[in-house]
Amino acid sequence: MIPKAKALKLIAIYLYICELYDQKLQYSVQRYTNNDKPVFTDQEIMTVYLFSVHQEQRFTIRQIHTFADDYLRSWFPNLPSYQAFNNRINRLGEAFRLLAAHNFSRFIPQSCSTKISLLDSMPIITCSGRRKAKVALEITNKGYCATKSIYFHGIKLHTVAFSRPQRMPFPERMVLTSAAESDLNVFKQEWMDIPNRVFVGDKIYHNKDYFAGLETKTNSVMLTPVKAVKDQSELIKQRNKAADDLFSVAVSRVRQPIESIFNWIIEKTDIQRASKVRSTNGLLVHTFGKIAAAFIYLIF
């Protein structure tokens, strides 16, 4: 049994998932077999996953199934074995992705600024860089995280977020890539078409020639801390030092809140540690499912 307050939240999440499933999610998980209508439905699986992560801080599939078996059996009497539950949930990565995207587009806070966007990325680690990667090799790679000063195998979660003065920014779009993908390349592929925007990023986005052309084309500009120029004379460096330092500090202060998004998601879902994942589908569910579970907080 669970407390009444949590029971009401469980019901609310289930009804929300059922409504969205009928509208769009079902088309991403259609089955073309005789078992196209299982007794334990996809809606129930997604509800169990989101509730367990959102309310109970159960982060692995094993922990989620154990909790559901111990405390939610009266709500979900057809809960299958752990092996069947794990197999079923690994097929729902696309459904979780659509759910997360829906939450971003549907529940944008009114305090968001549509003129200023913040950029950054976060590593999702399947194993350390010292080990040989064996999981999800189709989408993972070896990369380097400057914030943690570590090499790792895994993927990166790239985010462009609306600025919110005095509050945590709100994601506009999120993209998954291998760990080796450059943040600047992701911008060129995914976000260069966003018009009339001031983007604020770190030094990895520094490319004057490219963004000068982008400003002409889309009226969007990129602000980054000042990057040292190779072979620049010491006299010019010292002459510009005060102005460059002030500009860099100002840009960094504007950009810094985007790191709070990643810290918040990590705190709520432990998304960064994916060492328990054993397949590509499992890694996609781990990532999109955790993002969807985190932003369920904004709805309930």
Same domain for 74 and 170, yes or no, is no
Q: Is 56 exposed, middle or buried (0-12, 13-18, 19+ CB in 10 A)?
A: middle
> Are residues 233 and 241 in contact, defined by beta-carbon separation less than 8 angstroms?
no
Based on the fold, state whether residues 84 and 192 are members of the same structural domain.
no
Same domain membership, residue 235 and residue 116: yes
54 and 139 housed in the same domain: no
Sign of the alpha-carbon torsion through 82, 43, 139, 124: negative
Pair 152, 13 in one domain: no
70 domain-assigned:
yes
57: left (phi over 0), alpha (psi -120 to 50) or beta: left
What's the CA angle centered on 165, arms 164 and 171, to 5 degrees?
Answer: 15
State the pLDDT at residue 251: 92
pLDDT computed for residue 2 by the predictor: 86
In a domain, 272, yes or no: no
**How far is it, in rounded angstroms, from Cα 290 to Cα 59?**
8
Provide the domain count of the chain. 2
pLDDT at 165: 84
In a domain, 30, yes or no: yes
Query: Does some domain include residue 36?
Result: yes
pTM > 0.85: yes or no: yes
Q: Are both 168 and 226 inside the same structural domain? A: yes
Based on the fold, state whether residues 169 and 230 are members of the same structural domain.
Answer: yes
The verdict on 98 and 118 lying in the same domain is no
**Alpha helices in 82-222, H assignment, sequence order:** 82-89, 93-106, 183-186, 208-218
Residue 270 lies inside a defined structural domain of this protein: no
Query: In the prediction, which pLDDT does 231 show?
Result: 67
Q: Tens digits of per-residue pLDDT, 10-62?
A: 999 999 999 999 999 998 888 777 777 889 999 999 999 999 999 999 999 99
Q: Does residue 221 share a domain with residue 130?
A: yes
State the chain's maximal CA–CA distance in angstroms.
76
Closest CA to 85 of 99, 64, 100, 54: 64
**Owning domain of residue 44:** 4-102+277-298
In this prediction, the residues of the chain whose per-residue pLDDT falls under 70 are: 231-232, 234, 300
In a domain, 205, yes or no: yes
Identify residue 109 by its one-letter amino acid code: P
Residues 137 and 203 in one domain: yes
Examine residue 269 and state whether it is found in any structural domain, yes or no: no
Residues 198 and 129 in one domain: yes
Mark whether 79 and 122 lie in a shared domain. Answer: no
86, part of any domain: yes
